[in-house]
Structure 1
Amino acid sequence: MSPRWKPNPDVRTGRHVVHVLHAHLVFVTKCRRGALTDPMLVRCEQIMREVCVGFEVELREFNGEDDHVHLLVHYPPKVALSKLVNSLKGVSARMLRKEFGTHVRKYLWGEHFWSGSYFAGSVGGAPLTVVKQYIEQQNQPV
């Protein structure tokens, strides 16, 4: 006999929490210089996957162009996105400079690889209008 519903693989559980948290992250190279090559993007994805494992984060998607990368991460509520971002950018910058130093120096100078800023957007779940309507329709006790 099959269950009437199938569990959602995106729903993760912890000791006191049930959650579905996804974020779209975008990192841009310093001054949007087109320093990234295809082999660098492949290596960058490997590095970022390793960093994510350390945070108990799943890197669902990764892609990029010569001057930026996009990540889709599935993360637990105990992870501060800002700390994850700092680690992703810091480790990848060190490793890419170490492994592709000659190429990188043609495009980027100084100690920075990534721009100091980044984009982080929450994704997935119901649209905000649906959540707002759901909350508004709750039956308040009298």
Structure 2
Amino acid sequence: MFDDVHLHPMEEIMQAVSTDFECEPLEVNGEADHIHLLVNFPPKTAVTKPVNSLKGVSSRQLRQELDDLTRHYWRANKLWSGSYFAGIVGGALLSGVKQYIEQRSRRR
């Protein structure tokens, strides 16, 4: 369901919410049914807090701003599933993960 129309505002939302948690999004991209988000966040922050906020805020704002998402997800009244994957990377792996996310194809 996601394409450039959805991913551009999503990136802005992710940036704003991440700042609230003293996090820094390094890369954001997505595919039709999910997004990839590479974030640098302080070790004092439990990963569940920014993830839950990112999902909640982006779901609410995107459904308010984009009618096609409201029509598609009206019954569930949410945009995201309850699950997510979080992993830790650093050093040389960081550039590889960033490149992987950059190369995800966006539908136009």
Q: Normalising by structure 1, report the TM-score.
A: 0.61
Identity of aligned residues (%): 52
- From 99, 105, 114, the equivalent of 2:70 is 105
SS at match of 1:115: coil
SS of alignment partner, residue 85 of structure 2: strand
Give the total of aligned pairs.
Answer: 92
1:54-107 CA-to-partner distances (Å, cap 9, x unmatched) read: 11101000100121100110110111100010000000000000001x201342
Unaligned runs of 5+ in 1: 1-34, 128-142
Deviating runs (4+, > 4 A) in structure 1? none
Equivalent residues in 2 for 1:39-54 (5 A)? 39-54=5-20
Q: Secondary structure at the match of 1:39?
A: helix
Aligned residues: CA RMSD: 1.6
Larger CA deviation: 85-94 vs 35-44: 35-44
TM-aligned CA deviation for residue 120 of structure 1: 0.4
Which residues of structure 2 form unaligned runs of 5+? 94-108
Distance 1:95 1:66 in 2: 19
Larger radius of gyration: 1
What SS does the aligned partner of 2:2 have? coil
Q: Which moved more, 1:55-64 or 1:118-127?
A: 118-127
The structure with the greater share of residues assigned to helix is 2
What secondary structure sits across from 1:60 in the alignment?
strand
Asked if the contact 2:60–2:78 (Cα under 8 Å) also holds between the matched residues in 1, the reply is no
Change (3 A) 1:76 1:113: same
